[in-house]
Amino acid sequence: MFNPFDRSAKTAPSHYPRLVFHGLRTFQLVSSVIVGGIMSFFIWHLTHDHWSTPWTFIW
């Protein structure tokens, strides 16, 4: 039977180019911060004008 938590069945992690990996992760973080900032700005303007927050923005 296959046990996913079997410690004797380890495989070595695959090698990745360090610069590409961290560059992509940094780009992902920057993109998420930009989208979050735009969404926060939009929600702030909605609440400032006494509109309710759309249900798609509620987490």
pLDDT tens digits, one per residue of 1-59: 667 676 666 777 778 899 999 999 999 999 999 999 999 999 999 999 999 988 887 76
Tell me if 23 is assigned to some domain: yes
Task: State the residue range of the domain holding 43.
Answer: 19-57
Tell me if 3 is assigned to some domain: no
| pLDDT score for 1 | 62
| pLDDT score for 25 | 96
Count CB-CB contacts under 10 A for residue 42. Answer: 13
How far CA 51 is from CA of 36, 42, 43, 46, 59, in Å, comes to: 19, 11, 9, 5, 18
pTM here? 0.66
User: Structurally, how many domains does the chain consist of?
Assistant: 1
